[in-house]
Structure 1
Amino acid sequence: MMIFSMRPPRPASVLLNALALLVLCAILGLSLVWEFGYGYAPDAAAQLQRLAYLLAGAGLLLNLRFGPSPAHYAVVLAAALGGAAAAGLQVLPPLVGAVAAAPGPLAPPALLGLRPATWALAGYAVLLVYCTFMLAFDRRAGDSAMPRRVGVLAALPMWLFLAVALAATGAAGLQCGLSDCPAPGQGYAWLPPEWWPTPVLADLQPAAQPAPSADAPR
């Protein structure tokens, strides 16, 4: 027989989950600004990374709505693992010496010396550490199927996340439509060409220095 826990969550648990959800809202909001404000459309791997953040936010939202639960933290952990795999497809090949094409003119510029995929991978690592910590120290986490009353502290990030999730879903629909997503720079399936965002930032990575020739003076 399944026993449902009716114990109220600790205030610290509500605060930490609300703050984590706000951080995810900020990450998703920045990705939308990066796409429509600066003209850098996501590729297929970036779309998977955005989806992973949406699923992780859904797990945190369940924690706030129904109370903390190991099942909800498992949703966040699974999303973080999937997002890390998607980001690793872009981060790991250059690190292990695999053949990789040089960033094109439509590639997003680096932020503080790191590509967006590297920042995404770091974010998933933080989510994994956060869930491990909460599963170890949130002793009141238990399975509960009963929705509970939430205060302003929990309701604000919940509604904000729902708004950002709808915006991210709409952005994916505009770019992909009902078929495969086009490559960055190939336009949007459901957006008129005159409304396509165009890149406005130059790549801040330093230009690669040519290798010295054998005849060059030492």
Structure 2
Amino acid sequence: MLIWVTLFITIAIGLFWYARHQPFPEHGNIAASIFLLTALVLYMALEAPRPTAGTLPGSPVPPVLAIILGGWFTIIGGYHMGRTQRDVIVAPFSGIILVSGIFGLVTLDWTLQTTTEQIGNFILASVFVLLEIYLLFRGLVVGIQGITWSKSGLRQLERGLIMGDRGAISHFERSWDMEDPALSAMAHAALALIYKFNDDTENYEIHANRLDRFGGWGSVDSSWLDAISTRLQGNANLESDE
């Protein structure tokens, strides 16, 4: 039981740590909180004065719990990784718990299984290990795409968070993509407008000149420029009201 508590805590700490460096940290924080709560419940059950069926050696409760929670958050993380592109860490970290739960469950009565059952369980576990390797590569090696930082930068701008490590400027500075000139142009255009709004002429000229390398202001969709300008104006109105 203690090894399962350690596993859930380790994964939770990893998610909390990596979520700090994500454009949308709430996804990792939610998964980490659930895993940490699960570890706390398992530890409380382990330290209870009366042992329960779930805490006895060979109990299927911890691995089944790992499969349910790990599988659920792997699906959610995979959706965000492939469709919304808002998160790349929940799926691989949750996949570790899922794979651990599968191995823990199929090996509970390994010596009592027939050869056919052992081969089938081994193949099943191997498939999920391969899936986990893909998730680790896709999430932690390939990492976050520039478009995701653009989306989060727009959200931070709407919140009025412009400066600082979690501000819109920091997000837009990470959003350019060497393989997508249009995305890089959008990033420089956003930064130029923000610096112009803040009367920072030096940085405005830097990003305006870099934007010229990608075709100038005409290469950026007008709806993107309007979105940035509208949010900047909204921040100005809020400051004036205060």
Q: TM-score, normalised by structure 1?
A: 0.39
Q: Which of 1 and 2 has higher RCO (CA within 8 Å, sep 6+)? A: 1
More helix by share: 2
